[in-house]
Amino acid sequence: MLTGAAPGIVAGEAPSIMLIVSGSVRFGDERDKRGFSESFLLKAEEGGEVFYVASHVNRLIYKPELKRN
């Protein structure tokens, strides 16, 4: 372990970044907004200057309209 390093950083291991995004979006002429969340795991290539997407997860919250009789 590096002295004075941030927790979770191990000497000789390429860094990773977890990016989590959430919000709402409206599609086309729709009146209501839909919620979403998205997460990305970015891993550094050797040298640590270039990152690539190791994992990507997307969730769209869809609430179908209730049909009334």
Residue 23 located in a structural domain: yes
Number of domains in the chain: 1
Residue 27 located in a structural domain: yes
pLDDT in tens, 21-62: 999 988 888 888 889 999 999 999 887 789 999 999 999 987
Q: What is the pLDDT of residue 36?
A: 93
Instruction: Grade residue 12 by pLDDT with cuts at 50, 70 and 90.
Output: low
Q: Within 10 A of 35 (CB to CB), how many other CB atoms are there?
A: 13
CA pair distance 68, 5, nearest whole angstrom:
60
Residue 7 located in a structural domain: no
| Domain housing 38 | 16-60
What does pTM read for this prediction? 0.61
Identify any residues that bridge with 59 across adjacent strands, giving them in sequence order: 37
**CB of 2 closer than 8 Å to CB of 14:** no
Residues sharing a CB contact under 8 Å with residue 16, sequence separation 6 or more, in sequence order: 41, 42, 43, 44, 54
| Mean pLDDT across 15-22 | 91
